[in-house]
Chain A
Amino acid sequence: MDLTRCGTGMVLLALVLAFFAFLFDDIPAAVAAGALVFFLAARGVAFLSALSSTAASLTVSRTVSSRYVRQGTAIEVTTRVDHTLRPSFFPGLTDLLPDGSALIGGSPAEVHEGMIRYTIAPLSIGEHAFPGIRLTLADLFFTATLTDRRAQSTAPSLTVLPASDYTLSGKDLFGESESRSISPLPSPGIRSFREYLPGDDPRKIDWKLSAKHDALWVREYMGRSDTAQLLIVDLPDASLPFSSEAFTRLKEAAVAAIAPLLSPSRGIPVLLISGANLVSFSPVESNPEKVITLMRQLSPFPRLHHLYRHASTPALRRRYSPLNGNGMSPEIPLEAGHAPTGEPFARSLALVTGSFLSRRTPTTYEAQLARALHPLNTSTAHLFSLAGGDVSHLSLLAEQATLRGMAVHLHIPEESCDLSTRAKINRCSFASVEVV
């Protein structure tokens, strides 16, 4: 039980009056000091009585979406709390999370019409009961916290099963076996060839094939591919207004999407961008709680670099290639009388743009993306973005990921899903778009 500011002020006032009374032998000051002490003592007894009666009236009824779950699975918890309270006291209720669980949605301290609703992800295996409910009572002079751990407040218990992430024994269909160590030596078998991308290891270049096609080609070696998924979050610009509700929902969706994939034995790459600015990149983040905490603490980031209707050099080459019909994209309107259609114009345009494009260097953002995505051996990426304003950075990201064989799934909030944004997103090479 603690004193509030008002209570502390009264204690100090009593001490000052007592000191004055002692110094000047003043009986009225001593009466005032004594009265304040008695006032606080009597009020303390009344406060304890209120705390006891409120705790006795507390009834807790908790339901969970599933009692038997796999590690990292999201569980929705609904707790109904009923209590009676004397007037002039202010209560606060917090539902305590089971050990080893991470909060991924809602708030266990928000009581709405006697109900507390939130979502957790249990990260440690075993049987875990809820630790109870915390009651905080306050009045003008005192505040106290009481943790109710009676049987009715700790039920039900969760049984968390492992995420079945064990090493497989034996050989698979391709004759490869699981290895605990990563070998720096590539496999002698070549799976396929593809065009060279910035950031590729020059040792992988196949010179014979490159000479034949007059372009750099690299070998892709065989090997068991990892099933880890890349998490990308596009933070909103801190200098521009944005919907904080949509951003909160986006963060909760990100946590809910990655929670089942997290386990201490397998890391998840996390890439944070803000427009055309790479904020941070963690190739292997293996601490699940750290990832979830990071997701929950994400905040808008000031954007230093901006892109507007920016396209990558390969995309522009494709657009102005004379082999693609008349070489013009339907996005570029032609004015009648000024733009002749047909082969000569397309060839001239391709020649002019080609001379510019040959000297065009990739932006810093493109180079950063290439360096970040190059070492990843993942086939799926989840991108969470508000998709506000220009989406060139998303388009570049989707293009680079697709070139590396990644399927990028875009998650956008409902507020951003208007016609213009949908049209812009449809032009990007996303594998799917989900509205959260």
Chain B
Amino acid sequence: MLPPVRWFLLLCAGEIAVVIAGQVSIPAAVLLQILVPLIIFRSSGAIDSSSTNMVFAAAFGLATVLFTGLLLSFRHTLIPLLLLTAAGLLAVFLITISKYRIDRRYRGTA
């Protein structure tokens, strides 16, 4: 199994390849972008073939395709990046709320 530093370096190299491929073909870049993290983290053992991870991979691929469609419709990056920031913050908020609910469920009675 590769050490985490190697995974990160592989991911960085993969992202550079995505950016370069995107200069030629956007669909190829999107396909590469979906495959790169899945292949890297599947080889590291962080992602397996369980049903949960299949749903996770499908959600990730769908979100990436939708975001690419948004980018192509706008033809510039400012507003999509602002929307992406908002989506990221919303995800952090929802994850925090979910964690709080789990904590509350198991904290017992005072």
Contacts and interface: CB of A to CB of B under 8 A. Distances in A.
A149 B71 CA distance: 47
B6 to A, nearest CB: 11
A55 interface: yes
Contact of A13 (B15, B45, B55, B95): B15
Given A42-B60, A49-B52, A25 B106 contact: no
Contacts, number: 162
A6 B63 CA distance: 22
B106 A150 contact: yes
Contacts of B30: 31
Interface in B1-59: 4, 7-8, 11-12, 15, 18-23, 26, 29-30, 33-34, 37, 41, 44-48, 50, 52-53, 55-56, 59
Given A48-B95, A141-B46, A150-B108, A32 B15 contact: yes
Nearest to B109: A151
B64 A38 contact: yes
Contact of A151 (B19, B88, B91, B108): B108
A140 B3 CA distance: 11
Contacts of A46: 52-53, 55-56
A154 B108 contact: yes
A281 B41 CA distance: 57
A35 B60 contact: yes
A35 B70 CA distance: 13
Given A6-B4, A31-B67, A38-B64, A26 B19 contact: yes
A30 B91 CA distance: 18
B11 A28 contact: no
Interface in A93-149: 132, 139-141, 144, 146-149
Interface stretch (A16-24, A168-176, A365-373): A16-24
Interface in A364-383: none
Contacts of B21: 28
B81 to A, nearest CB: 6
A27 interface: yes
Interface majority SS (helix, strand, loop, mixed), chain B: helix
Among A34, A37, A148, A151, the most chain B Cβ lie within 10 Å of the Cβ of A34
Interface residues of A, number: 54
A36 B37 CA distance: 8
A25 B41 CA distance: 29
Contact of B11 (A13, A43, A45, A146): A13
A88 interface: yes
Interface size class of B (residues with CB under 8 A): 35 or more
A266 B107 CA distance: 38
Contact of B15 (A5, A17, A48, A144): A17
Contacts of A38: 59-60, 63-64, 67
A149 B107 contact: yes
Contacts of B44: 140
B106 A21 contact: no
A187 to B, nearest CB: 55
A30 B29 contact: no
A27 B26 CA distance: 8
B72 to A, nearest CB: 7
Given A27-B71, A28-B19, A35 B33 contact: yes
Among A35, A49, A50, the most chain B Cβ lie within 10 Å of the Cβ of A35
Contact of B67 (A34, A146, A151): A34
B30 to A, nearest CB: 6
A51 interface: yes
A201 B55 CA distance: 84
A39 interface: yes
A10 interface: yes
Given A6-B8, A28-B22, A38-B64, A139 B108 contact: no
Given A87-B48, A150-B106, A153-B108, 6 more contacts: A9-B8, A27-B77, A28-B23, A30-B80, A45-B98, A151-B108
Interface of A: 1, 5-6, 9-10, 13, 17-18, 20-22, 25-39, 41-46, 48-52, 55, 86-88, 132, 139-141, 144, 146-151, 153-154
19 contacts: A17-B15, A17-B19, A21-B77, A22-B81, A26-B77, A28-B20, A31-B29, A33-B84, A35-B37, A36-B37, A42-B56, A43-B56, A48-B99, A55-B102, A86-B52, A140-B44, A140-B46, A149-B108, A151-B109
Interface of B: 4, 7-8, 11-12, 15, 18-23, 26, 29-30, 33-34, 37, 41, 44-48, 50, 52-53, 55-56, 59-60, 63-64, 67-68, 71-72, 76-78, 80-81, 84, 87-88, 91, 95-96, 98-99, 102-103, 105-109
